[in-house]
A and B are shown apart, each in its own frame.
Chain A
């Protein structure tokens, strides 16, 4: 799971009102190279909840993202490359995602988060 996906995920257990962002517990990370595509980055930027993204990146050991961002930064190649790396190249392979409200854990195995809910959670 990439941080792009993490940034889109929210816990939808019945009754949970603030299911975003999911906490991350890391057991194993992996890096896979993805072609650098500034167009996609500029397109995605407005959709990203930056604070959650930047904090999630820190959890995965990526500390070079600014805390505050503004659209003008998308003209800076250096920023784009760091954004690209954190958004698309680092994968959480093993670990857990944690609902911020209930603490319920969603295990991640082989890079795939198990988001299946129990009957009583729907």
Chain B
């Protein structure tokens, strides 16, 4: 299926029928809640006291519900009228603003204790109108975000970049606007469960939060964020990195892991352990077949 970002600008893509899914699809509801839980974990607020948070691309208010459950107040901004209507229907506790984050945020400096964003910021990479220059819009957004956060406050943005170039575009725009921090990638070896969290700090650099499954542990039923992808998840391990050069390198590494003989041997061993019948390993394992009949 084509990426939503390729189909239409966000205010049109998130129309009434798409927005409807955010109250009717238990899968979407589950995913939004899980991603927000994880974003909150990475936000690592200093204590349990109620804070004022910003939800960027707050949409139907599903992510906001998780913030409210934790006792926080939030203000949400979204570009889609239909999504905000759904938030009203769901009786979101936060205040809602109809706005385009690519135009800045229109918020006073230093007031938010933290910000989260679930699956929204990659939309800024679209050049779906002649007036939309992704670089300008990203700059406008990150500058405004940096200003409205209290000093030392964090922002955790979960994003679905289309490719490494886009990831790089977003990350470097953030760094150029004064943020420090970096990317936390959960389950990097699973094409479906893999999730990018851009963790930003406005202020002096600090230690990046610990990624999930560093010990190579697998995603448990309970924690799973997306449809499961059994084989891949056995290997789920989190890679963390920050800075500009790293994304490209890391993805090359992954490709190697996915193809070559080593990868096949490892997969076979896993299947064996799981009690399946698997052909024995020979010198032919993982070799290309000749084009011959």
A119 to B99, CA, bound (A): 13
A-B contact count (CB 8 A): 79
B96 & A40 in contact (Cβ 8 Å cutoff): no
Q: Is the interface of B mostly helix, strand, loop or mixed?
A: mixed
A10 & B51 in contact (Cβ 8 Å cutoff): no
A119 & B108 in contact (Cβ 8 Å cutoff): no
B280, CB-defined interface residue at 8 Å = no
Across-interface contacts of B177 in A (CB, < 8 A):
none
A9 & B144 in contact (Cβ 8 Å cutoff): no
A113 to B97, CA, bound (A): 5
The residue on A at minimum CB distance from B113 is A43
Across-interface contacts of B51 in A (CB, < 8 A):
43
Across-interface contacts of B107 in A (CB, < 8 A):
8-10
Shortest CB-to-CB span from B172 to chain A, Å, is 22
Contact with B along A36-56 (1 / 0, CB 8 A): 010110011001010000000
A116 & B98 in contact (Cβ 8 Å cutoff): yes
B111 & A8 in contact (Cβ 8 Å cutoff): yes
Shortest CB-to-CB span from B144 to chain A, Å, is 7
A106 to B144, CA, bound (A): 19
A31, CB-defined interface residue at 8 Å = no
Across-interface contacts of A26 in B (CB, < 8 A):
none
Contact with A along B136-180 (1 / 0, CB 8 A): 000010001000100000000000000000000000000000000
Across-interface contacts of A24 in B (CB, < 8 A):
none
The residue on B at minimum CB distance from A49 is B108
B84, CB-defined interface residue at 8 Å = yes
B108 & A115 in contact (Cβ 8 Å cutoff): no
Contact with A along B93-127 (1 / 0, CB 8 A): 00111111001111110111000000000000000
A117 & B108 in contact (Cβ 8 Å cutoff): no
- Residues of chain A touching chain B, judged by Cβ–Cβ distance below 8 Å, are 1-2, 4-5, 7-12, 19-20, 37, 39-40, 43-44, 47, 49, 88, 110-117, 119, 122
